[in-house]
Amino acid sequence: MKKNAVNYAFVDSQNLNLGVRSQGWRIDYKKFRLYLKNKYNVEQAFMFIGLIDNNQGLYTDLQRAGDGDFHCLHEYLEEKGKLLHIIVPNKKYSKLLKKFIRSIVRIDLLRSKLEYRNHKKSQPKRSVETLGRTGGKPRSSGRSKP
């Protein structure tokens, strides 16, 4: 890979999401984006998501055609000598991709780097005195100090 090459990623989010969830984990998309940038010098990543009700006929036709939504793109890039890698969720992927075996990268092998972990900061315990406070000001007890 050339040092200054501009690379693009095309992500089928449905396959990625379902693939990693079937293995019992969730992908951290920020980590995934950084991984693509740092490992493969990906300048832009295009994520194909969503279901648009008006396109239901198209989705039905695509489902009938089977997996390999980007197969024609893979072939085109391979023909032009521009295909670097195809990232798949695990060892079970479309048979259409078998001819690109040397370009396959399995994301399940990257789980420790890309797994989403809920990193909520623990909130300080509140004392009984502070439970009723708002805005940091002490509540008036209704009595005036002598």
68 neighbors 97 (Cβ within 8 angstroms): yes
Residue 28 CB neighbours (<10 A) = 16
pLDDT tier at 112, thresholds 50, 70, 90 = very high
State pLDDT tens for residues 11-70: 888 888 889 999 999 999 899 999 999 999 999 998 887 677 787 776 676 556 575 668
pLDDT at 62 (0 to 100): 58
Specify which residues 88 forms β-bridges with.
106
pLDDT at 131 (0 to 100): 46
Residue with tokens 């990625």: 16
pLDDT at 130 (0 to 100): 45
State pLDDT tens for residues 64-106: 657 566 888 889 999 999 999 999 888 888 888 889 999 999 9
Give me the residue spans of the domains in the chain.
7-114
* Angle made by CA atoms 50, 32, 22, in degrees to the nearest 5: 65
Question: What's the average model confidence in pLDDT over 117-142?
Answer: 54
Cα–Cα dist 75/82, whole Å = 10
Q: Which two tokens stand for residue 117?
A: 């972990």
